[in-house]
Structure 1
Amino acid sequence: MCEYEPGTAVALPGGIGVSLLTVYDVEAPDGLAGGSPHVHLACSEGYYVIGGSGAVQTLNPSGFTETPLQPGTVLWFDPGTIHRLVNHGGLQILALMSNSGLPEAGDAVLTLPPEHLTDRETYLKATALTGGDAARTQSAMTRRNLALDGFAVLREQYESTGPSALDDFYAAAVRIVQPQLADWRKRWEQGARRLADETGAALDALEAGTAPHLQTAELHRIPAPTEFGRHGMCGRLDVYDITS
């Protein structure tokens, strides 16, 4: 058995990332508890609900949808889908993220009002979490409420003008993440792309009647999360980060 150690070149099947997400239970100004609406620009994300109940609100060029969540629910969404988790009680999710967990490593932009999306520095200042655990929780709720303000405006604009209502937000999000793209590409190349290439090589070998990759088979294991209770956009995260 091969246990993960930081710095080793391993990846979960398909180059995915996983986090155990306990959704925030603090009530927002609209009376709903839950997380911060945000978007991913390069990655898809999936949920497997393992406890509690709630919903996910989504907004993309196809419109607004609210989907119930209960234990056993499996769903996922593409890059460009703005999403907000709502916690009706005890909502806990195994989050499945493409590209070695890139959504939790930078591929996310909150739906802040436009004045906070003018440039990367302004955005980071508005979304920073500071202080100890209690202070960080308060900061997380402050930025969540700010993101809800922007989300409400986007929903209203969509009702009036349709998909074009999202154009300015998407454009601002692209500008904000551009300085990170070299790091994103490296994570993709070392994770999902590398594994896809290895599968291609295995198929080539099998077609030739050989299977050298079978001689290096191992069992891989992460003994425990590499971080517990991180303040994420949607809740507290137990993170399994094998790319450290």
Structure 2
Amino acid sequence: MVTFAGLPGAVGVSHLGVYDWEAADGLHGGTPHLHLTCSEGYVVQAGRGAVHTLTADGFTVTPLAPGSLVWFTPGTIHRLVNEDGGLRITVLMQNNGLPEAGDAVLTLPPPYLTDPARYAQAVALPADDPARAARRRRDLALEGFEVLRRASEAGDNGPLLAFHEAAAALVRPRVAAWRQRWERGAAEAARVTGEQLGRLAEGDAGHLADASVHAAVPAEAGRYGMCGRLDTYRLPGA
């Protein structure tokens, strides 16, 4: 019988403690970046802060407080700001967690974006000192983000569109692997639902006898991510 064992719709989930590191502009928080194929959602569990976003429609600040639900679509540059030091979020990620599997480009200055080797070196987190490297790449990404934001506020989306093009060029070698992940995750979940609907339309409820229950605990706790320390899960299809 046709079943899918992943989370509903092959959504990825993680818990995030947003960085409380101070940046050059006096704000505390994470690294601005975008995702190329994935929507992402936040459910705020504790603390207060904001998510700063930049799209072709402009720069926006969305407040975050316990209970807030915020989500955004691919291409949204986002920066989490931790206003009270205690901002904790449950993160929902389209395509079974693909955003944390490489579907992200940080807003580094243009010279890094046009040189894949230089970009990879700038965003790497060496095992001997990941905190220092994460903070360094955050600060570098903020430099690029400020250029994009100022241009947008002046009515010039040229730098933003150029960043989109550079980001797409950077990830192009990985797209085939991403497609495989999508096919065994979100696409498979949708296919299974379609087949179940077809069987139900014919009066066949056989798949209900194959019901199963799954549980998981974080497989990795405190990993340095783009926006903060991550507790992540290993889930079917991910």
TM-score in terms of structure 1 length: 0.93
From 78, 95, 98, the counterpart of 1:99: 95
| Alignment-derived partner of residue 112 in structure 1 | 108
Amino acid at match of 2:234: D
Amino-acid identity (%): 55
User: Gaps spanning 5+ residues in structure 1: where?
Assistant: 1-8
| Alignment-derived partner of residue 53 in structure 1 | 48
Residue correspondence of structure 1 range 78-97 to structure 2 within 5 A: 78-89=73-84, 90-97=86-93
| Alignment-derived partner of residue 182 in structure 1 | 176
Amino acid at match of 1:203: L
From 112, 125, 128, the counterpart of 1:129: 125
Moved more, 144-153 or 182-191: 182-191
- Contact 1:62 1:163 (C-alpha < 8 Å) held by counterparts: no
| Alignment-derived partner of residue 196 in structure 2 | 202
User: Gaps spanning 5+ residues in structure 2: where?
Assistant: none
| Alignment-derived partner of residue 170 in structure 1 | 164
| Alignment-derived partner of residue 146 in structure 2 | 152
| Alignment-derived partner of residue 72 in structure 1 | 67
| Alignment-derived partner of residue 223 in structure 2 | 230
From 186, 189, 214, the counterpart of 2:208: 214
Q: Distance in 2 between matches of 1:165 and 1:212?
A: 55
Question: Could you report, residue by residue, the CA deviation over 1:138-164 in whole angstroms, capped at 9, with x for unpaired residues?
Answer: 110100000000000001111234433
From 23, 33, 38, the counterpart of 2:18: 23
| Alignment-derived partner of residue 4 in structure 1 | none
Moved more, 97-106 or 158-167: 158-167
Amino acid at match of 1:239: T
Amino acid at match of 1:181: V
1:37 aligns with 2:36: no
Question: Could you report, residue by residue, the CA deviation over 1:165-207 in whole angstroms, capped at 9, with x for unpaired residues?
Answer: 3111001100111111111111111111101001101111111
